Every structure is written in C-alpha cells, then in structure tokens.
C-alpha cells in the first residue's frame, strides 16, 4: 500500500538592498515515475514573474522565471500532492560482465563520470574494489560499500558546505545527506556501477499521523543501475520508502538544486527554506 502526501515547499531570498531584476530556475515539482504519481502540482512566485516550464536533460521539471522589476524579496511556494507507491527496491539484476560492456558504458557514461567533487580517496577506492571482488552480484557489492560509507561518516549538520568534496567528507568523517550521497556515488562509479544523485523530501517520522502537518526535510539519496534504476538512501542505510518524495535526478547536487539564479543589484542575499509534509491517506 502506498500513501498520498502533500508537500508545501517554500523558499526564496531576502535581499539586503533592492534588486532591479532576477532570473531563476526552480526544481520543486515532484517526478512521475514507476513508484510515484503526481496528482497535483503548482508553483507560486512572488513578485509576479514571467515563467516557462520544461523538462531538463535528466527529466526533471524546471520552472524558469524572470522578474524584471525592482524587488527586495523573492518568494517561491511549490505545493504538490503525490501518490507514493511501494518502491521496488530491487531491479531485474545485472552482471559485472554487462556493466563492463563498452556499449553499455558508453550509454551510461554520464552516470559513470568520476568528477572531482565525487572522486573517492584511495582508501575508499581500495575498499570499493574489495567489495566488487568479494560479491558476485553488483547489487550486493553496491549495498555493502554504501553501508560501509555510512559506518564511517557521521550525519552531522554544519560541518560541511555545498561545495565540500567527497574527499574532504571522508577525511572529516562527518557530513549531511548530500555529502554521504556524493561519497557513495563516487565509490559506485569507480566500481563501474552507474549511479545518480536524487533530491526530494522525507517525512521525519516512522509512523506519521494522517492529516497532521510535519516539518519536512529536503533530502538526498541515490539510484544505482541494477537493470533498472534502484533507489538507496545511504544516510539511513536502506532503500527509500513511501515517506520519500522524489523531485529531481542528476549527476550530482549541482544538477538538481531546488532554486538557483542570478540577480541584478548590490548587496548580499539570504536564502530561506521551509518544508511542510502531510500524509493525506
């Protein structure tokens, strides 16, 4: 049995001084896939903006918008109702031989790229290769290395920044969900297993009461290739469940930020974020 979940995600910027214009992209509309169906979704923007909605290269819904008159605050509210089904958790399966096929690697090259931000340290590369040698199934090796990463890295907010690399996270032995996912993505890719970053939301309650609004959380997990894209939440050490709502996928966080843009004006900007989640049924 699945759940119907309403998500209200409010974010935006307070500007220290009035800005004359801003150009932005919001990735705040949940995805339709085999595990969830979007029943309703809308994005409200204040001040009034010119908007254009499209699907990006990775299939994420993007609301691009432009505000061409002076303003001191940008307020974006995305309200969605999603029917989240039972997540598969297991793909049809793939062998090491299939993963090493040149044609397959060419098709999945973008999710095999080991960029600087996710590149594992030598110790983690060695650990990952050991799991690959030990397990006949790529899936078993993937789960094993992700659990080993979680055992080393403590979930600790405030010790990293958005641009902190997987190498720094490994050495610090601490980070947030974004950091743990980047570290795991790099390890999987060095094993030859395609992996992609997933952003979304999760209700921080094991048995949420229907109709009660919870302070939700922006969250990150990943999907790896096992004959199909299979989700795993390395921060929690298990596959995502029916309290997770998927919004965007990409190579790393930098493909999926909920809100990004530029503005014309002087002074600093301060971002704010609020997420409210309610189980409807």
- Would you list the domain boundaries of the chain? 3-85+257-279, 96-255
Model's pTM, two decimal places?
0.95
How far apart are alpha carbons 254 and 181 in whole angstroms? 13
Do 96-255 and 3-85+257-279 fall under one CATH topology? Answer: no
Q: What is the pLDDT of residues 121-147, one digit of tens each?
A: 999 999 999 999 999 999 999 999 999
User: Is the CB of residue 146 less than 8 Å from the CB of residue 161?
Assistant: no
CA pseudo-torsion sign 176, 178, 182, 184: positive
Note down pLDDT in tens along the chain; length 281 residues: 579 999 999 999 999 999 999 999 999 999 999 899 999 999 999 999 999 999 999 999 999 999 999 999 999 999 999 999 877 667 788 999 999 999 999 999 999 999 999 999 999 999 999 999 999 999 999 999 999 999 999 999 999 999 999 999 999 999 999 999 999 999 999 999 999 999 999 998 889 999 999 998 899 999 999 999 999 999 999 999 999 999 999 999 999 999 999 999 988 999 999 999 999 98
Compute the distance between CA of residue 206 and CA of residue 55 in angstroms, rounded to an integer: 33
- Is 5:40 a contact under the CB 8 Å cutoff? no
CA distances to 37, 161, 266 from 200, rounded to whole Å, are 14, 19, 32
Distance CA 38, CA 53 (A): 16
Does residue 211 come out as left (phi exceeding 0), alpha (psi in the -120 to 50 range) or beta? left
Under 8 Å between Cβ of 40 and 80: yes
Class of domain 3-85+257-279: mainly beta
Domain 96-255 has CATH 3.40.50.261: no
């Amino acid at each position: 049995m699945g759940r119907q979940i309403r998500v209200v995600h409010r974010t935006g910027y307070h500007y220290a001084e009035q800005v004359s214009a801003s150009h932005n992209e919001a990735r705040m509309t949940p995805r339709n896939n085999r595990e969830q169906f979007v029943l309703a979704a809308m994005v409200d923007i204040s001040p009034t903006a010119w908007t254009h909605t499209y699907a990006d290269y990775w299939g994420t819904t993007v609301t691009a918008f432009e505000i061409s008159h002076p303003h001191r605050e940008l307020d974006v509210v995305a309200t969605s109702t999603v029917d989240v089904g039972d997540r598969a958790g297991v793909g049809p399966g793939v062998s090491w031989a299939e993963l090493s096929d040149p044609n397959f690697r060419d098709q999945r090259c973008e999710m095999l790229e080991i960029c600087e931000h996710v590149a594992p340290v030598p110790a983690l590369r060695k650990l990952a290769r050991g799991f690959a040698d030990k397990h006949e199934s790529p899936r078993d090796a993937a789960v094993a290395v992700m659990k080993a990463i979680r055992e080393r890295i403590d979930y600790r907010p405030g010790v990293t920044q958005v641009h902190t690399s997987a190498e720094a996270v490994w050495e610090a032995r601490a980070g947030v969900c974004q950091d743990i996912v980047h570290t795991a993505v790099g390890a999987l890719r060095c094993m030859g297993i395609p992996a992609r970053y997933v952003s979304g939301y999760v209700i921080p309650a094991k048995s949420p009461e229907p109709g009660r609004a919870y302070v939700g959380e922006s969250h990150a997990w990943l999907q790896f290739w096992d004959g199909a894209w299979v989700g795993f939440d390395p921060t929690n050490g298990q596959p995502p469940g029916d309290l997770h709502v998927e919004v965007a996928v990409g190579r790393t966080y930098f493909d999926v930020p909920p809100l990004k843009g530029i503005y014309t004006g002087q002074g600093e900007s301060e971002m704010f974020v609020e997420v409210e989640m309610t189980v409807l049924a």
